[in-house]
Structure 1
Amino acid sequence: MSVLTTAARGFDPLGIGRRSLATQSVLLVFGTAVLALASQVSVPMVPVPITLQTLALTMIGVLYGWRLGVLTVLAWLGEAMMGLPVLANGGGGLTPFVGPTAGYLVSFPIIAALAGLLAEKGWTGERVVLSFSAHLLSNLLCLAIGGAWLAYLLGVEKGLALGVVPFILGAVIKSALAAALLMALGRRTGKPLDL
């Protein structure tokens, strides 16, 4: 067992807990590529676009476990800081980390960790309502942190109107999609469905 996984993971459809450190390193690189691709699926909005980032982030937290999930997100953010075009709309460099999207970027490793920790406690694929709740809580935490930063930059009313309210429906839809995908994975691993 690698130091990147927890001692006992109840939901481990990818077998991350049994993988070598070298394999987990490859998965980390693969995860950064998934995050970069999810970032490019974008609906332009001002000042923050709608992307599939949070869906990918919470899924990586659940599937990789919180430790490897957080390391994967930090590696992806590091790629962005180095100027690689891995953020929404091909963004990269230091500017996104001080502009309107900074609060969301700061929240990303936190929400991957939250989704992963909740999954390790049983809030996962075969427990559909808890799985949905874990993803929704993670998404709402992202909106709270990102919205707080926007409120600091633009004022509370504008921060909520531009950085929180337009994203709530998307958070619900992405959480439902994540729960459905993880339910399907739970069924493929032969575990009974538990609502």
Structure 2
Amino acid sequence: MNASATASLKPTFSPLDLQHRPLAWKIGAVIFGSLFLALSSYIEVPMFPVPMTMQTFAVALVGALYGWRLGGLTITAWLVEGALGMPVLAGGAAGAHHFVGPTGGYLFAFPIAGMAMGWLAEQGWNGHRVGLAFVGMLISNAICLVLGAAWLAVLIGVEPAVMAGVVPFVFGAILKSALGAATLKAMTRGPKRAAE
């Protein structure tokens, strides 16, 4: 079996298969993805100084489904919307000041976390390998927590940042990672073969 035949039997990393779609599809995906990210921001458990939302779930899922390039672009577009004053951040918040406040590190971590999950999904850590997808989702969540807490530590100190910005979110990160992996598995219908 030659290399092209082998490639045609390889499952795509995402059921959306956006890397092979025309530009109009990709533009639509960015719009839909930023809307999905915005909606995830409204699912919130108020906490101080950082609220718990479904944002990390959405960020990792967008990365996994869109791939690292388009996923990173989509997440960045959503953050730009928030910075420009659209009510798309946690709880409907908006404005550039959120990027220098207590949540700033988490916001800047989102594209990195999504791109990391997207890259891992492209390497096979996706719905075809649900265990690896779960680990990838955990890594994505961990990136958000580590970078978010690092910025928070600049504002309030290391120990308070860990206690307020990491510890309360660990269990939620595990649950959201499991939900993300299960979502990928549910969306994956088996190996997708290229057209003959």
**TM-score normalised by structure 2 residue count:** 0.90
Q: Report % sequence identity.
A: 52
- Alpha-carbon displacement from aligned partner over 1:41-95 (angstroms, at most 9, x marks no partner): 0000000000000100000001011111000011001100100000011111111
Q: CA RMSD in A?
A: 1.4
**Is 165-174 or 8-17 further displaced after alignment?**
8-17
- Structure 2 Cα separation of the partners of residues 76 and 55 of structure 1: 15
One-letter code aligned to 1:88: A
Flag structure 2 segments of 5+ consecutive residues without an equivalent. Answer: 1-9
Alignment size in residue pairs? 183
Aligned to 2:7: none
- Structure 2 Cα separation of the partners of residues 18 and 114 of structure 1: 20
The answer (yes or no) to whether the contact 1:107–1:146 under 8 Å persists in 2 is: yes
Equivalent of 2:176 in 138, 156, 174: 174
The answer (yes or no) to whether the contact 2:82–2:95 under 8 Å persists in 1 is: yes
Whichever of the two has the greater Rg, that structure is 2
Q: Are 1:10 and 2:12 matched, yes or no?
A: yes
Aligned to 1:3: none
- Structure 2 Cα separation of the partners of residues 15 and 149 of structure 1: 35
Aligned to 1:129: 131
Aligned to 1:119: 121
The answer (yes or no) to whether the contact 1:147–1:159 under 8 Å persists in 2 is: yes
SS of the residue corresponding to residue 84 of structure 1 reads coil
The answer (yes or no) to whether the contact 1:9–1:17 under 8 Å persists in 2 is: no
One-letter code aligned to 1:164: V
Aligned to 2:68: 66
How do 1:22-171 residues align onto structure 2 when only pairs under 5 Å count? 22-171=24-173
The structure, 1 or 2, with the larger RCO (C-alpha pairs under 8 Å, 6+ apart) is 2
Following TM superposition, by how much is the alpha carbon of 1:123 offset from its aligned partner in structure 2, in angstroms? 0.8
SS of the residue corresponding to residue 22 of structure 1 reads helix
In 2 relative to 1, CA 95–22 (structure 1 residues): closer, same or farther, beyond 3 Å?
same
Flag structure 1 segments of 5+ consecutive residues without an equivalent. Answer: 1-7
